[in-house]
Amino acid sequence: MIHFNNISKRYPGGHDALSQVNLQLAKGQMAFLTGHSGAGKSTLLKLIAMIERPTRGQIFLDGVNLNNISNRKIPYIRRNIGIIFQNHHLLYDRPVFDNVAMPLVIQGYRRQEIHKRVRAALNQVGLLSKEKVDPITLSGGEQQRVGIARAIVHKPLLLLADEPTGNLDPDLSLEIMQLFARFNQVGTTVLIASHDLDLIKHMGTPMISLEGGKIIHNGLPFTINSTR
Amino acid sequence: MRNSPHKSSRIRSYFGHHLRSSITTLGRLYAQPVATLMTVAVIAIALALPVGLYITLTNIGLLSSGWDGSTQISLFLHTEVTKEDAVKLMQRLEKHIDIKNIELIDKETGLEQFKEMSGFGDALKYLDSNPLPVVLVIQPKMQSNGPDKTTALVHELGKNPLVELAQLDVQWVKRLYTFLEIANRGILVISSMLAIAVLLVIGNTIRLDIQNRREEIEVSKLIGASDAFIRRPFLYTGLWYGIIGGVLAWIITLISLILMEDPIHKLASLYQSDFRLSGLGIKNTMLLILISCLLGLTGSWIAVSRHLKEIEPS
């Protein structure tokens, strides 16, 4: 699903965020991405979502070389990806339903289809009863779940999450991670950046560790010592 | 695209989104009536000003075309030319395309008129013969052609061997036409500057709108909205500003005309004229609103193409 071939990313000013990273994530796999802040986790996710472009190397997403994608075509690549942010990026000027419906509206789904899919997505995150509520009135965990519903409503091939539990307490965090595991079980490829090692160990899914822009570990979490 | 909906439904949803964008943006404008009204008022006033000047000029033009009737060319024929020859010349000239109508004043009539008007009536009795020539008074067709053409006509008629002198007092007509032309150019310059002002006002309003909705634009880009999709509501906002501004400009002009109509009619009747103010007409009203729409669309297009690129998710 994701294939990094000798990827380097140098930001203007000379900071090397990633250097010569090789990475494979198979279709239907779930993995965590860990490392200290500044290790390159966010950069790696941004390269996949085409928010940034690599300085060197090639990225293949579902067999497509992203270097060959022009800026104009980026939206169509992103439509296959669901992205979840730490600060959930919800729009407070519209109710929960409209927030979740955004990817479908953008892709031109019909009204009945939108209703059906938004309800299904909200049901999966357990917020069906809140569809008419303004997101500002929801708790942090609920807002994050609305963000997840928005990321999965168009059934993307790949789910990217950047510190999705960063602001949540441990119980809620586990709940959110289990939600991701459920999506993974129905075939979605999932890549989650997180520094919550305890939680990752608890989940027992493969882990990719970054340090100074290089991969220092790629495998199951219990095979290494804590990198802290 | 695995998840994309079917093509026919995509096309339908494309138009659906246009419709929705136009209605939503209108709703947004309606939700902030004071801000919208201020922007629209600026646009309307900037448009109404050149329109008002244009109407004034058109009316001056109409008024002066009434004066064209008094423009006459007097052809003084040689004194030895007989009335019969003069009549033949008149019949020939009546076929000329630039001549509206010809009046012949023969020697006797001329003398009578001279007696009446000069006050030398008694002195003329002592003349042996009538010294006056036959005169052809020619009314040129002025509505269709300007003063230059009339001057050319005078030159042409002056070359006729029977004619001793072709005389026309066009100096003031020429001056008026030149003045109208200068005024026309002036209006063009003012209109262009005000059009740019309208572009800037709309562009700036849209720019603020884009900044206010930065978050929404960022999120939309992240979930795969195309540039056209993001641009659309802003372009519609510009279009609405244009339409509403144009209609308001038309209303302002209409009210001004109604206010002016009565006193102008009174003034005209003092001069025994049935002159009436001419308004904008359907064609020009349509043109006004069309130009206004184009300005709205262009203004928002400039703002959108400049500022949407700056907003990228990070």
Task: Check if B224 contacts A (Cβ < 8 Å).
Answer: yes
pLDDT bracket for residue B67 (50, 70, 90): low
State mean pLDDT over B23-39.
89
The verdict on residue A128 lying in a domain is yes
Chain-chain contact of A108 with B9 (C-beta, under 8 angstroms) = yes
**Quick check: B76 contacting A, CB < 8 Å?**
no
Q: Does B12 touch chain A (CB under 8 A)?
A: yes
Under an 8 A CB cutoff, do A108 and B10 touch? yes
Is residue A144 situated within a structural domain? yes
Which of B304, B252, B265, B249 has the alpha carbon at shortest distance from B21? Answer: B304
Distance CA B232, CA B216 (A): 14
- As its CATH architecture, domain B72-168 has 2-Layer Sandwich (3.30)
Q: What is the pLDDT of residue B6?
A: 61
Supply the pLDDT for residue B56.
Answer: 86
Nearest CA of chain A to the CA of B5: how many Å?
6
User: Is B212 a residue whose pLDDT tops 60?
Assistant: yes
What's chain B's average pLDDT?
83
- Written as tens digits, the pLDDT of chain A (228 aa) is 899 988 899 988 888 888 888 988 989 999 999 988 888 888 999 999 999 999 999 999 998 999 999 988 999 999 999 999 878 889 998 999 999 999 999 988 888 999 999 999 999 999 999 989 999 999 888 999 999 999 999 999 999 999 888 878 888 888 889 889 999 998 899 999 988 888 888 888 888 988 888 888 887 765 444 443
Q: Which residues constitute the domain of residue A125?
A: 90-155
Q: Does A136 map to a domain?
A: yes
| Contact (Cβ atoms closer than 8 angstroms) between residue B133 and residue B77 | yes
Q: How much of chain B, in percent, has pLDDT values that exceed 90?
A: 32
- Could you give the CA distance from residue A185 to residue A190 in angstroms, rounded to a whole number? 10
Which of B12, B224, B313 comes nearest A106 by C-beta? B224
Predicted confidence (pLDDT) at residue B276 exceeds the cutoff of 80: no
Chain B hits for A27, CB-CB cut-off 8 Å, are none
State pLDDT tens for residues B111-151: 787 777 666 667 777 777 777 888 888 877 755 556 677 77
- Reported ipTM: the value is 0.87
pLDDT higher than 80, residue B271 = no
Query: What are the domain boundaries of chain B?
Result: 7-66+175-307, 72-168
Q: Does B220 touch chain A (CB under 8 A)?
A: yes
Instruction: Tell whether B4 lies on the interface with A, counting CB pairs under 8 A.
Output: yes
Note whether B219 contacts A91, CB cutoff 8 Å: yes
Tokens of B18: 């246009």
Residues 26-45 of B with CB under 8 A from A: none
Domain count, chain A: 1
Is the predicted pLDDT of residue B158 greater than 90, yes or no? no
Q: Do A51 and B13 touch (CB under 8 A)?
A: no
Mind telling me how many Å the CA of A29 is from chain B's nearest CA?
Answer: 19
Query: Long-range contact list for A106-109, CB < 8 A, 24+ apart?
Result: A106/A79, A106/B220, A106/B223, A106/B224, A106/B225, A106/B226, A106/B229, A107/A79, A107/A154, A107/B3, A107/B4, A107/B5, A107/B224, A108/B4, A108/B5, A108/B9, A108/B10, A108/B13, A108/B14, A108/B16, A108/B17, A109/B5, A109/B9, A109/B13
Assigned domain for A4 exists? no
The residues in B 158-217 lying below 8 A from A, measured between CB atoms, are 215-216
Task: Average the pLDDT over each of B62-66, B95-99, B127-131, B285-289 and give the range with the smallest value.
Answer: B62-66
Q: pTM here?
A: 0.73
* Per-residue pLDDT, B45: 93
| Interface check B14 vs A, CB under 8 A | yes
Residue B95: exposure state from Cβ atoms within 10 A (0-12, 13-18, ≥19): exposed
Q: Residue A226's pLDDT is what?
A: 43
What is the per-residue pLDDT for B66? 56
pLDDT at A219: 76
Residues of A in contact with B226 (CB under 8 A): 75-76, 106
